[in-house]
Amino acid sequence: MTTITATQATTQPAQRTHDNYGRLWLRVPQELGFLLLNLPIAVISLVVLSTLFFTGLGLIAILVGVFITVAAMYTARALGTLELLRLQWAGRPRIARPQWEKPGETQSFWRITLAPFADGHYWLYLLHGMVVAPIIGILSWTISFVWLTVGLTGATSWIWQRALPDEANDTWLHELLIDWAVPGAELDIDPVLGESLLYLAIGLIFLATLPLVTRGLTLLHNVVARGMLSAWRSEALSLEVASLSASRGAAVLAEDQSLRRLERDIHDGPQQRLVRLQMDLASAERKIDADPDAAKALLTEAREQARDTLEELRALSRGFAPPILQDRGLIAGLESLAARSTIPVSLELQLDPAIRLAPEIERSAYFVAAELLTNAAKHSGAGAIRLHLALRAEPSAQWLDLWVIDNGSGGAEKRAGHGLSGLEDRLTGLRGVLSIDSPLGGPTAVGAHIPLPR
């Protein structure tokens, strides 16, 4: 058990506060750049969008007004996208953009022209660009500009204060503050020195709080943008449903193709050997009395046929689920594949053998590796293969990355009905991705990337 002393308990929150304040200062240049650009962008946005939109409304009775109004909406979309990019540059997390082109829709001139009228995002972007952005943009620019100016002016007042021309001045701000704080106090202080110290204190206070002001104003823009310019949750759900439907369809297609290939392999391999075995046994049965030596030769050949058939059936059974994969896991299964490869395979398995993944993920990774190793042995002309397996963590998900890299002739590509296309369908069923890098002349690198469930 770890013991925390009272001194540690006291200093740790202070240290965290200091670190947080220091991180705020690191973002000040970016946030100031974002805020000080708000005024020109807000003015341009208000002028351009108002001119286009109200001109279009005035001419809506004729066809040209429709196009001008649509131009205003597309301009608002561009300005809204610029706001999202600027927020991301200022250090805010990326905001999901709306999906402007719906999947499956045919794009025609009139659909592109009239789509903004039926899409609520365009109206929100227009409202943001014409009303909301100018209001909060001018407000945030004013506050940040005044805060920065007061801070810098006050902090440097001791430099420029004595350079001002001497004028008769009976009222000093520092004397008013002293009289208000300590009534009747009579302090003999140089007026210029007193004013300089007061301005310096005010400037330092404003500079010390500048990171809080810039962060707060940037967060205000971020909240508004997230509410008006981001994709709707219903869109994300629709995309999720469409993605799941596509994944399910791809998985069904991949399984159907696998079953058809297995049926063809059984028909062309073990079934033909069994037919031959049956014929050899029938011939041996007929000759066993009249020609024992010939019958013995036929039985020897039949035994070889039975052994070869058994080997083929064992190889085909690996297309279902090899026992080593079920019993010992993915690492052992990949080591078994590498040992059976006709080309030397260098293993880079950066996964703890004790970790067991979901059965469907281990099975798919095994089949993908087996198919890629077979393809490399048949078509690449390679002399060596690297098999790489690792986990990759991202903020949104964790991925299993499997790479098969050979030093062959290259030129591998996806073609309908061929092996790589079938692998892509299998991975799509798990919402995975197949990546191919195979220039002519080699080398070839094919990667399977499978997201892991949380």
Domain locations in the chain?
1-231, 252-317, 327-452
Classify residue 181 by burial, with Cβ atoms within 10 Å: 0-12, 13-18, 19+: exposed
Task: Provide CATH code, domain 327-452.
Answer: 3.30.565.10
Spatial CA neighbour of 198 closest among 186, 189, 210 = 189
Buried/exposed 293-304: b ≥16 CB within 10 Å, e otherwise: eebeebbeebee
Which tokens sit at 155?
């902090």
Q: Which residue has the tokens 């509410």?
A: 227
Dihedral sign of CA atoms 357, 361, 362, 363 in order: positive
pLDDT in tens, the chain (454 residues): 334 444 444 444 444 444 587 888 888 899 999 999 999 999 999 999 999 999 998 888 888 888 999 899 999 999 999 999 999 999 899 988 887 776 555 566 767 777 788 888 899 999 999 999 999 999 999 999 999 998 888 888 777 666 655 554 555 555 556 555 555 556 556 555 666 677 788 888 898 999 999 999 999 999 999 988 988 776 555 556 565 555 555 555 656 666 666 665 565 556 666 766 777 788 878 888 788 888 788 788 777 777 777 776 766 665 556 677 777 888 888 888 888 788 898 999 888 888 888 888 888 888 888 888 888 888 888 889 999 999 888 877 788 999 999 988 888 877 765 667 777 877 877 778 888 888 888 888 998 898 887 6
Integer Cα distance of 157 and 151 in angstroms: 10
Main-chain dihedrals φ then ψ at residue 177, nearest 5 degrees: -65, -40
Q: What is the rounded end-to-end Cα distance, in angstroms, of the chain? A: 30
pTM of the predicted model as reported, rounded to 2 decimal places: 0.52
Q: What is the DSSP letter of 280?
A: H
Element (H, E) at 163: none
Integer Cα distance of 47 and 76 in angstroms: 12
- 316: CB partners within 8 A, 6+ apart: 262, 265, 266, 269, 270
Reported as half-sphere exposure (CB side, CA atoms, 13 A), residue 238 has a value of 10
Q: Which residue has the tokens 């304040």?
A: 21
Which tokens sit at 342?
């006709």
Q: What is the DSSP letter of 438?
A: -
Integer Cα distance of 332 and 353 in angstroms: 8
Integer Cα distance of 71 and 53 in angstroms: 8
Which tokens sit at 430?
């798990």
Which tokens sit at 185?
């106090």
At residue 388, the 3 state secondary structure works out as strand
Dihedral sign of CA atoms 305, 311, 314, 319 in order: negative
Counting DSSP H helices and E strands in the chain, the numbers are: 16, 5
